[in-house]
Amino acid sequence: MTDEFWLRYLRAHSRRATRVLHYFGSTLAILVLARARRPRDLLGVPLAGYVPAWFAHFFIERNRPETFTHPLASLLADYRMLALAMTGRLGPHLARAQSATISEE
């Protein structure tokens, strides 16, 4: 994942509610994966992860999910964002993403 993508990803997740729904979906996807007992149970993993995230993009951010054009990078960024949030280190990344937007204008 490039730094350029990471900053664009963060700008696409600028609202706290969007990030919270992503954290919920990402965590739920892990739980569904851990509880899967049959191959068909695995169908629930992407549903658990993407439904809350896409809801956030369509109804809160009102933008297009990065998943549509960069599925793997977006998935990695989802879990990077979750890990940084859980460890209290996401703030500087969000500030940098916002300042990159301002400097581009």
How many structural domains comprise the chain?
Answer: 1
For tokens 């999910």, the residue is 65
Q: Which residues contact 63 (CB under 8 A, 6 or more apart)?
A: 12, 57
29, 45 in Cβ contact below 8 A?
yes
pTM of the complete model? 0.90
DSSP state of 88: T
Q: What is the pLDDT along the chain (105 residues), one digit of tens a residue?
A: 899 999 999 999 999 999 999 999 999 999 999 999 999 999 999 999 999 999 999 999 999 999 999 999 999 999 999 999 999 999 999 999 999 766 554
**Residues of 61-98 as b/e, b for ≥16 C-beta within 10 angstroms?**
beeebbbeebeebbbebbebbbebbeeeebeebbeebe
Q: How far apart are CA 64 and CA 58, in angstroms?
A: 7
